[in-house]
Amino acid sequence: MPSPQSRGALTLKEADMGVADLPLLNQIKGRLTWLDERQRVIAQNVANSDTPGYVARDLALPKDFSAAMSAGPVTLARTQAGHIAPPSPAARYAAVEAPDSETTLDGNAVVVEEQMLKMTESRMAYEAAIGFYQKSMTMLRMAARPPGR
State the DSSP H helix or E strand holding residue 16, giving kind and residue range, or none if neither.
Answer: none
Report the 10 Å Cβ neighbour count for 146: 5
Structural contact between residues 75 and 85, judged by C-beta atoms closer than 8 angstroms? no
Which one-letter amino acid corresponds to residue 80?
A: Q
pTM for the predicted model, two decimal places: 0.67
State the DSSP H helix or E strand holding residue 57, giving kind and residue range, or none if neither.
Answer: strand 57-59
Which one-letter amino acid corresponds to residue 49?
A: S
Q: Kindly tell me if the per-residue pLDDT of 8 is higher than 60.
A: no
pLDDT tens digits for range 111-138 = 999 999 999 999 999 999 999 999 999 9
Half-sphere exposure of 101 (CA within 13 A, CB side): 5
- For residue 55, the 8-state DSSP code is B
pLDDT tens digits for range 40-95 = 999 999 999 999 999 999 998 877 765 655 555 445 566 777 777 666 555 567 88
